[in-house]
Structure 1
Amino acid sequence: MKNTKTFLLITIMCFLNINILLSQGCSDAGFCTVNSFKPNTENSTGVLNNQFKIGAFYGSADRNISVYGNYLEYNRQLNEKWAFDAKLTTLAQNGNGITTFGLSDIFLNATYKATEKVNFTLGTKLPLANANKKENNLPLPMDYQSSLGTFDLIIGVGYTIKNIQLVAAIQQPLTQNENEFFASSYPINSKLRNFQSTNKFERSGDFLLRVSYPITIAAKFKITPSVLPIYHLTNDKYTNELNNKIEIKGSQGLTLNGNAYLDYELNTKNSIQLNIGMPFITRDARPDGLTRSFIANLQYNIKF
């Protein structure tokens, strides 16, 4: 109990450090929300093998951009060893006089439960946009794209030690997108002149480690603090106006995030989850447009 209170206190203190957090940003290509990579907050497995989720989120991004999104997710427990997940996402951005919306990605994942404590996940992210949305015939930066536009491989492993849940995963792009944004294509007085050029953008992969600790507050209410470091493996690249490939310095490195999950069980079939996330540490350069200084996600679950 003492360790539980200490862990919870540290997490709360981190979230209260708003002056630091709001000056930073978190970056994630989507795999931290894969079902098997999120904290397991289920009270019991029961006999219901199907679960449908609908969710919506709001986030504060770089350069005075607000992001909104929603998703549909289906989880299927095939047997006591195998589970399958499918997720469809959308994303909208608004800021600097520009508003965009579009389909994002489809995530498909299979999870194998090796033992009561260990599971393995193999999945993929399928893009539903090429990341080259335009306005007035000019390509927009990645900050206004609904998808990274990459086809990705996702591999992960989960391990439980008593109540502590550990996840390690990697998401590696197998293809790159079709973005053509040059900051120099915009007028001198345009705010987009200050964005990072991403023509022929080449994004590196990410490594994730999550540590979480579910805490039961009441019979139907649970809180789960979570620490989420994500390491961007190498610097990203783009091709400049002279057709030279340029490395974007500072885009490699660590982003350290904190999450708090609040779960309320309405009954044996229905539940609600609120997830709030903020970063503690970020990379110097984030050309992929995924930076979030704050994000809140509300999700409704139904089992059948």
Structure 2
Amino acid sequence: MKKTATVVLLIMSGIFSYAQGCSDAGICTIGQSFETEKADFKNSIEFATVFGKGESDVTYFSPYITYTRKVNEQFSLATKITFSSANGSFGTRASFGDAYLIGNYTLKEENQKQWSFLTGFKFPFTSSNLKINEYSIPLDYQASLGTFDLFLGTNYKIFNWDFNLALQIPVFNNNKNSFFKEYAGTNDFPSTNLFERKSDALFRTTYNIKTTNQKWVFKPSVLFIYHLGEDSYETIYNKRETIKDSDGLTINGNIVSFYKINSLNSIGLSLAAPFAVRTTRPDGLTRSFVASIQYIVQF
């Protein structure tokens, strides 16, 4: 138990230190679709609100709703809809972001060991070119990257540990962002005109802690996210140019806690922050701190 407490304290110390790079283009949260708890009901709805702090004092308020249907003992489907409001020196812009459809197939558990597999898609509600007062704004203010993405993943559960691997692959790019830093009067954000983003690979390890009365669950985790190539944009001369150092590794710390109110209802709190970051993050997903509150009802 002392080792567990040490891990939690280390993650919490990282969460409350300032750094850059905690982000989620979708791959960080789709891993939560891996079912590590035996559900008592076939349906669940999650209502959540995410608060975040980004670059250049941009702040975020991002609610979402998730519906999960347990089709049978092995297969479940989850749908998720996101919304985001960003506020900063450019002003405030709010919009629906993305819709997700995720399927999870779980093999039979044997000797407290279990494999599960995940696949799904992300569909954008915008082409990432929302404006404020008719002026183009950077991706940091956009609610979606404007890409249609494929998710592939697998999870291995052994005793109280979960290890999962996932890929997020943009299969169709509808990003029509038109932001040029040359016309913005600031160098805080890079140019992202007609932005094209590369794929991501994730490895996550999670330790599950339950109290004796089964009311509380704590899940500290560490996420390694590798951006598999340099992103690019189209210059003012209509030439596609890669963005140097936009590939590479990000390491995030995360702790999730849930309190089971009764057999139908639970509430949760999630805190996350980065430990190591890529040099350049033009996608606008940089976060120094993220906190979310969830309410889950089963029926």
TM-score by structure 1 length? 0.92
Quote the residue 1:112 is aligned against: 105
Work out whether 1:165 is the aligned partner of 2:159: no
State the match for 2:20 in structure 1: 24
Q: Which moved more, 1:263-272 or 1:239-248?
A: 239-248
Given that 2:18 and 2:288 are in contact with CA atoms closer than 8 Å, whether structure 1 keeps it comes out as yes
Q: Which shifted more, 206-215 or 132-141?
A: 132-141
Q: 60, 64, 70: which one pairs with 1:71?
A: 64
Q: CA deviation at 1:194?
A: 3.2
Q: What is the rounded CA distance, in whole Å, between the counterparts of 1:25 and 1:195 in structure 2?
A: 14
Unaligned runs of 5+ residues in structure 1 are none
> Is 1:174 matched with 2:171?
yes
- Bigger mean CA deviation after superposition, 211-220 or 73-82: 211-220
1:217 maps to what in 2? 211
AA aligned to 1:159 is: Y
* Contact 2:137 2:179 survives alignment (8 Å): yes
Q: Is the 8 A contact 1:127 1:148 kept in 2?
A: yes
**Counterpart of 1:172 in structure 2: which amino acid?**
I
1:203-255 C-alpha deviation (Å, 9 max, x unpaired)? 01111111001111342012111111111110100111111111111110111
State how 1:53-64 maps to structure 2 within 5 Å: 53-64=46-57
State whether residues 91 and 146 of structure 1, in contact with CA within 8 Å, keep that contact through their aligned partners in structure 2: yes
Partners of 1:38 and 1:260 lie apart in 2 by 16
Which residue does 2:261 correspond to in 1? 266
| Aligned match for 1:231, one of 218, 226, 229 | 226
Residue 171 to residue 210, structure 1, CA distance change in 2 (3 Å): same
- Larger CA deviation: 28-37 vs 154-163: 28-37
Select 2:239's aligned residue among 241, 244, 256. Answer: 244
Shift in CA distance, 79/156, structure 1 to aligned 2, threshold 3 Å: same
Structure 2 unmatched ranges of 5 or more? none
| Cα distance, 1:97 vs structure 2 | 4.4
Instruction: Name the Cα RMSD after superposition.
Output: 1.6
**One-letter amino acid of the structure 1 residue matched with residue 53 of structure 2:** S
- Contact kept, 8 Å, 1:168 with 1:210, in 2: the verdict is yes
Decide whether the 8 Å contact of 1:27 with 1:286 is kept in 2.
no
Q: Does 1:50 align with 2:47?
A: no
Q: Which residue does 1:255 correspond to in 2?
A: 250
Q: Distance in 1 between matches of 2:130 and 2:18?
A: 28
Could you tell me whether the CA contact under 8 Å between 1:11 and 1:258 is conserved in 2? no
Match of 1:92 in 2: 85
Shift of 1:26: 1.2
Q: Quickly say closer, same or farther: Cα 1:38–1:283, change in 2 above 3 A.
A: farther
Partners of 2:27 and 2:260 in 1: CA distance: 25
Q: How far apart, CA to CA, are the structure 2 residues paired with 1:62 and 1:194?
A: 8
1:17 deviation in Å?
Answer: 4.3
Residues 35 and 18 from structure 1, CA distance in 2 versus in 1: closer, same or farther, beyond 3 angstroms? closer
Deviation at 1:80? 1.1
1:124 and 1:18, CA in 2 relative to 1: closer, same or farther beyond 3 A?
A: closer
The one-letter code sitting in structure 1 at the alignment partner of 2:219 is: T
Letter of the 2:125 counterpart: L
CA contact (8 A) 2:128 2:139 kept: yes
Task: Work out whether residues 151 and 169 of structure 2, in 8 Å CA contact, stay in contact via their aligned partners in 1.
Answer: yes
CA contact (8 A) 2:33 2:104 kept: no
State the identity as a percent: 39
Q: TM-score, normalised by structure 2?
A: 0.93
Offset of residue 82 of structure 1:
1.0
For residues 151-175 of structure 1, the C-alpha deviation after alignment (integer angstroms, 9 at most, x for no partner) is 0000100111111101100001112
